[in-house]
Amino acid sequence: MRILITGGTGFLGRALCRALLDGGHALTVLSRRPDSVRRLCGADVTPFATLEMWPSEPFDVV
């Protein structure tokens, strides 16, 4: 499933990201600090900070 998470670098968001990645989902994380998303949430996460960076493919879950 393609999932968009906002606040993925926070305390709860990091745990949620790990659980969803362990479940085999593709994650995109909206964050004010996109540079830290992969370090905090995992290397397979796609980070973005602004709507200009919005991925072109639709999400299954937000």
What are the structural domain ranges in the chain?
2-44
CA pair distance 26, 45, nearest whole angstrom: 7
Contact call for residues 55 and 62 (beta carbons, < 8 A): no
- The mean of the pLDDT values for the chain is 88
Question: pLDDT by residue (tens digit) across 3-21?
Answer: 999 888 889 989 999 999 9
Enumerate helices (H) and strands (E) in the chain, giving the number of each: 2, 3
pTM for the complete prediction?
Answer: 0.81
Rounded to a whole number of angstroms, the distance between the first and last alpha carbons of the chain is: 11
Contact call for residues 52 and 26 (beta carbons, < 8 A): no
